[in-house]
Amino acid sequence: MENKRSCVDCGTLNCETRDSVYPDFCLTEALTEETLEKVRRLYEEEENNRVSVISAEIENEFYLRYTRVQETVEFARRMGFQKIGIATCAGLIEESRILAKILRRNGFEVYGAVCKIGSIPKTAVGVPEDCITNTGPVMCNPILQAEVLGQKGTELNIIMGLCVGHDSLFCKYSKALVTTLVAKDRVLAHNPAGALYQTGSYYSRLVED
């Protein structure tokens, strides 16, 4: 299968610096005025515009100063949110309890929904029984997490370590904006980028043909 080159194959980043030239496969160069204008108009929508402006302000003001926890608190405050949802993995419940305490001390109303909410057996939705051996009989339920937080009227939902795929379903069904605070990686202490930094040594097998 032919690999079509795109941004991940470009090292110039002229789209950011504007001081070089674009490669011949550049996606920016291939964009039509129609597409650019269509997307630009989307940023005129009130919520999109507020998120874009406030995010840029926070990045500019606190670059290399604030942790992601602090940035999340500042974002929620500047957006005027009051109700924050936490969609947490059961394995990160203690971390989520700490996060809830931080958010409450900053004046937010917090609701948490753990991944096992509803306590539904995995087999009830067609998960094979052999998937129970290492991880237990109760399914992760990201759609119900999203539903429950939606019923509570949360305005921003924070993902705390949901499984790959389960996080996708949560984002799909969340009624509120979603941001990720913790990306689960049990092997690398929830630092998935660690595998990318180690591809030249320990994790070289990840890039082997």
pLDDT of residue 11: 85
* Model confidence, pTM: 0.92
User: What are the residue ranges of helices labelled H in 12-141?
Assistant: 14-17, 27-30, 33-42, 46-62, 68-79, 93-105
The correct CATH number of 67-209 out of 1.10.1060.10, 3.40.50.1860, 3.20.20.70, 3.40.50.720 is: 3.40.50.1860
pLDDT of 3 above 90: no
Which residues have a Cβ under 8 Å from the Cβ of 37 and sit 6 or more positions away? none
pLDDT one-digit tens code per residue, 111-151: 999 999 999 999 999 999 888 888 899 999 999 999 999 99
Question: Per-residue confidence at 202, pLDDT binned at 50, 70, 90?
Answer: low
Is pLDDT larger for residue 153 or for residue 206?
153
CA–centroid distance for 3 within its chain: 27
pLDDT one-digit tens code per residue, 62-95: 999 999 999 999 999 999 999 999 999 999 999 9
Tell which residue, 108, 84, 88, has the closest CA to residue 97: 88
pLDDT of 169 above 70: yes
